[in-house]
Structure 1
Amino acid sequence: MSGETIYKGNKKILGLTTLSFFLTFVVWFNMAPFTSTIKEALNLSKEEIGVLMSINIALTIPARIIIGMLVDRFGPRKVYSSLLIVMSIPCFIFAFGTSFMQLFIARAFLGIIGAGFVIGIRMVSEWFPAKQVGLAEGIYGGWGNFGSAAAAFTLPTIALFIGGENGWRYAIALSGLLCLIYGFVYYRSVQDTPSGKVYERPKRNGAMEVTSYKSMAGLIFMTLPLYGILGLLTWKLSNTSLINSSLANTIYVILAVIYLYNVYKIWNVNKEHLKEGVDKKEQYSFRQVAILDFAYLITFGSELAVVSMLPMFFEETFELNIAQAGMVAASFAFMNLVARPGGGWLSDKFGRKKTLMILLLCLSVAYMGMSQINSSWPLVLAIILTMTCSFFVQAGEGSVFAMVPLVKKRLTGQVAGMVGAYGNVGGVLFLTVLSFVNPSLFFMTIGVAALLCFIASLFLKEPDTAEHSSIVVQDKAGKEAAM
């Protein structure tokens, strides 16, 4: 059976899965266009609105880890369909909520839908050969990510069309309804792998498999920031009137206990096979995962942070009105449509390590350049530099996920989950930095972090695409054969 035959139908799967991701981002960001409307309609304080915006990403971090494990175990078809269907429930609750607490609970659970990205990474990697997976993952990530911009453009229009004081509620509910319907459509329209290809599953469940004691220590260490960032969010909320110190301390203790339990699971899952010794062909370097974590923290993390602050930055620096500043910020997100697939294509064409290194170095220089922007600059030059920086950031994201599926096939969901979670960690971390420094130092901090990541990327190993292009199929006797 030829590789061309095995992968027949891959464009259909890419399109259907990208639409799934697109809808998750529409729902995940369906509050953003109506922030001021919701604040006024429910008489919420500025602090309460801030909490709703923060909690929207809090559970996404652990959810990406958990969803990564589920997709490796049960397959992307079941997990993506279930996520779309189940997450429509908190979307409806949020749409028709009448109190802050109802909105808070709904928004917290809606953060889980942001983990949908991880599922598609595994699905797309199953349907495309290694030499094409970078471009395919880039299209999936870039066009799916556009769902956040689509929500900003379409939902207010729908609300105006419906009219009345509850127009915003029906617009948000409509996004949930689309999610619900498409969950069933997706389940009936896709399969986890091409016909005849075996879906490789982890040999053990509950934590990521590693292949050396050194890697296990690395996994334990790299898991700590995922809980630390939730502690940081708790600390930020404790500085408001919404969480008192007693509740904050309780949350810290809970996070510490969960982390220690996670450490136990890592040990329990890996102790036996590490003691027996891991066959060389089964080994992989966790260092690859750690460096990709750092790279996505820089790329996607900085994108999250910059998109949040860019309108105000241009508004204050160049005395633009809100609409003009918003257009500049939106253009940063629009670049995803081209840049992220471009980063994946460059990785397929010229090598994954080399491409990622060049993009990290370029975005480091670009962010350092942005740190020098002030009111004396021509506006056009500032926008050109911002767009250039945006291209390197999002191409870098595409380059990261051109490599993720090639670390270890049967662990792709978990690797993608961890790398994706670090992207959210970066967003929270950089926004926290911004709360203490001016925009110039904020951009410089990201630039220096990107330079450090460039140095770390020197220790990446170029994936063997020939090794990952072998396809396991079942012959007529039911025996496995590699092609």
Structure 2
Amino acid sequence: MSSPKLNLLDFSQANIRLLHLTWFAFFLTFVVWFSHAPLRPVIMEAFDLTMPQWKALLILNVALTIPARIAIGIAVDKFGPRITYSILLLTAGVLCVAFASAQSYEQLAAIRFAMGFVGAGFVIGIRMVGEWFPARQVGLAEGVYGGWGNFGSAAAAFTLPSIASLVFGGEDGWRYAIASVGVVAFIYGIIFYWRARNTPKGSTYFKPKKSGGLEVSSKKDFFFYLAMNLPMYLILAVLAWKLSPAGVGLLSDTAVNFIYVGLVALCAFQFSQIYKVNKEMLKGAEVPEHDKYKFKQVAVLDWAYFVTFGSELAVVSMLPGFFLDTFDGLTMATAAMLGSAYAFMNLIARPGGGYLSDKFGRRKSMSVFIIGLTIGYFTLSQVDGSWPIALAVVAVMFCSFFVQAGEGAVFAIVPLVKRRMTGQIAGMAGAYGNVGAVTFLTIYSFVDASTFFMIIGGCALAVFAIVQFLDEPEGHMTEVLEDGTIQKIELT
């Protein structure tokens, strides 16, 4: 396979301009989404929060993203990424300002829960970038999109504490700092709609034949697909329990029981939609050979993203606080900057993971990255106050390189499974990333940081075994045009 060449500074190319326009949209969603994490001390002081209440906010922040990424995946396949991303950025701006204006812990919790919707923005760009780049470049392009976008959490950690204290100052400085981010996101939503396009000129935007769920190719894959949806509902049920009187007490027993019933109803509704989409196949209709794909591919990518992006979301949420608690004498701003070292690696690691996946093979590259992050998390589990801070930062960056390279490798494959369902496949993989985040943050609420890192490393070993079932994309995939013509899309 020839080495993919991509000149990111060649703005005469329409796809390069689109890539930069799109990664910056994702970047802003991450700044909005994690604007609270580096400001933990002042927010806790302003609302007199306990540590369990703060940890509940961290879990709430990523919870809604689980169903939101599924819903956004369906929306982007049906309506296109241009309008979908614009609406999400406008919504993100409003929610960000609302969080900055909150007057009680209950308001903080409700808005932070709603803010999880913003985390679904990642899915939109995956479909858009996949439309603009050929298979031999898509891993690197998706890596640039994801990596530079994910850097938004590091940018928030670097800048917001200083903006809050130096630019605005006073006890409400954090409010103005967070609100300013929301204003920028809102304005960029308008700019994105003005400048972005769904596909290159003359290209066809393939849409799913039916909406509501993935089309699968066999009865076996149908039941496999249903089973893969269950963990998303189970972890949301665990979250509801965590917020009950048995947990942090944010919700009453009546409210929690209502949520349980709602989750069962939502699960039943989703299963009915999946059945509706696949009804003809289940009744014996033959799926054309050119339309078949293996759902196994989607499932492997889901679990790989569970341990890569899931652990990243969990760790970037707690890492500034971990440095503050582990090393004496650090200020809030310094701890936030040290914690941002984890997300900082996104700038090179995620594009690097996509590039290496393009060049050396999908399964081999992902296997190496999973083993690397396993070693990284086991190393972080040994960090304590006796370590030199510089060495702790090096350990964080070593771990994060493999985590984010693994993310890049996952989404180097997603656009190659089935083009017209890329949004839904990306949505499901992305949702599993958030299942991982809620799982790991829930575990973190019960254990110390050392045990937390050790558990992630153990999960990564299990995922390494799962990754060995991944098949290398090869040859071509096909899509059917509106006039019935079959179009081949090369995978090499």
Give the TM-score taking structure 1 as reference length: 0.90
Checking the alignment, whether the CA contact within 8 Å between 1:473 and 1:482 is kept in structure 2 is no
How big is each residue's C-alpha offset from its partner over 1:172-227, in whole Å with a ceiling of 9 and x where there is no partner?
Answer: 22212212211111111111000111001000001121111111111111111111
Q: Which amino acid is the alignment partner of residue 106 of structure 1?
A: I
Summarize the Cα distance change of 1:92–1:435 in structure 2 as closer, same or farther, 3 Å threshold. closer
1-structure distance, mates of 2:319, 2:36 = 19
Kindly indicate whether residue 198 of structure 2 is the aligned counterpart of residue 192 of structure 1.
yes
Hey, what does 1:255 align to over in structure 2?
Answer: 263
Checking the alignment, whether the CA contact within 8 Å between 1:340 and 1:395 is kept in structure 2 is yes
Give me the identity figure in percent: 53
Hey, what does 2:404 align to over in structure 1?
Answer: 394
Summarize the Cα distance change of 1:32–1:440 in structure 2 as closer, same or farther, 3 Å threshold. closer
Hey, what does 2:137 align to over in structure 1?
Answer: 132
Hey, what does 2:9 align to over in structure 1?
Answer: none
Kindly indicate whether residue 309 of structure 2 is the aligned counterpart of residue 300 of structure 1.
yes
Summarize the Cα distance change of 1:375–1:149 in structure 2 as closer, same or farther, 3 Å threshold. closer
Kindly indicate whether residue 23 of structure 2 is the aligned counterpart of residue 18 of structure 1.
yes
Q: Which amino acid is the alignment partner of residue 77 of structure 2?
A: D
Q: How many equivalent pairs are there?
A: 474
Paired residue secondary structure (2:57): helix
Summarize the Cα distance change of 1:29–1:72 in structure 2 as closer, same or farther, 3 Å threshold. same
Summarize the Cα distance change of 1:189–1:380 in structure 2 as closer, same or farther, 3 Å threshold. closer
Kindly indicate whether residue 37 of structure 2 is the aligned counterpart of residue 32 of structure 1.
yes
Q: Which amino acid is the alignment partner of residue 229 of structure 1?
A: I
Correspondence list, 1:313-462, <5 A: 313-314=322-323, 319=328, 321-322=330-331, 325-373=335-383, 380-462=390-472
Q: Which amino acid is the alignment partner of residue 258 of structure 2?
A: T
Question: Displacement, 1:334?
Answer: 0.7
Summarize the Cα distance change of 1:152–1:268 in structure 2 as closer, same or farther, 3 Å threshold. same
1-structure distance, mates of 2:396, 2:39 = 26
Question: Displacement, 1:372?
Answer: 4.3
Question: Displacement, 1:473?
Answer: 9.0
Question: Displacement, 1:102?
Answer: 3.4
Checking the alignment, whether the CA contact within 8 Å between 1:196 and 1:473 is kept in structure 2 is no
Checking the alignment, whether the CA contact within 8 Å between 2:309 and 2:407 is kept in structure 1 is yes
2-structure distance, mates of 1:319, 1:46 = 18
Checking the alignment, whether the CA contact within 8 Å between 2:29 and 2:185 is kept in structure 1 is yes
Q: Which amino acid is the alignment partner of residue 204 of structure 2?
A: V
Correspondence list, 1:271-286, <5 A: 271-274=279-282, 275-286=284-295
Alignment equivalent of 1:153, drawn from 149, 154, 158? 158
Paired residue secondary structure (1:385): helix
Q: Which amino acid is the alignment partner of residue 223 of structure 1?
A: N
2-structure distance, mates of 1:27, 1:378 = 32
Checking the alignment, whether the CA contact within 8 Å between 2:37 and 2:317 is kept in structure 1 is no
How big is each residue's C-alpha offset from its partner over 1:399-425, in whole Å with a ceiling of 9 and x where there is no partner?
Answer: 111111111111111111111111111
Hey, what does 2:177 align to over in structure 1?
Answer: 171
Checking the alignment, whether the CA contact within 8 Å between 1:311 and 1:322 is kept in structure 2 is no
Paired residue secondary structure (1:301): helix
Checking the alignment, whether the CA contact within 8 Å between 1:288 and 1:460 is kept in structure 2 is yes
Question: Displacement, 1:481?
Answer: 6.2
Question: Displacement, 1:397?
Answer: 0.8
Correspondence list, 1:26-65, <5 A: 26-43=31-48, 48-65=53-70
Quick check: 449-458 or 373-382, which moved more?
373-382
Give the TM-score taking structure 2 as reference length: 0.89
Checking the alignment, whether the CA contact within 8 Å between 2:38 and 2:336 is kept in structure 1 is no
Hey, what does 1:181 align to over in structure 2?
Answer: 187
How big is each residue's C-alpha offset from its partner over 1:88-140, in whole Å with a ceiling of 9 and x where there is no partner?
Answer: 22222222233334333332222101100000000000000000011111111
1-structure distance, mates of 2:389, 2:91 = 45
Summarize the Cα distance change of 1:145–1:188 in structure 2 as closer, same or farther, 3 Å threshold. same
2-structure distance, mates of 1:117, 1:172 = 21
2-structure distance, mates of 1:269, 1:407 = 18
Summarize the Cα distance change of 1:182–1:440 in structure 2 as closer, same or farther, 3 Å threshold. closer
Quick check: 378-387 or 326-335, which moved more?
378-387
Summarize the Cα distance change of 1:383–1:49 in structure 2 as closer, same or farther, 3 Å threshold. closer
Quick check: 381-390 or 395-404, which moved more?
381-390
Question: Displacement, 1:273?
Answer: 3.3
The runs of 5 or more residues in structure 2 that have no matched partner are 1-5, 7-11
1-structure distance, mates of 2:107, 2:235 = 24
Question: Displacement, 1:279?
Answer: 0.7
Question: Displacement, 1:345?
Answer: 0.6
Q: Which amino acid is the alignment partner of residue 406 of structure 2?
A: G
How big is each residue's C-alpha offset from its partner over 1:134-165, in whole Å with a ceiling of 9 and x where there is no partner?
Answer: 11111111111111121222233333323444
Paired residue secondary structure (2:470): coil
Question: Displacement, 1:235?
Answer: 1.2
Checking the alignment, whether the CA contact within 8 Å between 1:8 and 1:194 is kept in structure 2 is no
1-structure distance, mates of 2:132, 2:311 = 30
Question: Displacement, 1:348?
Answer: 0.9
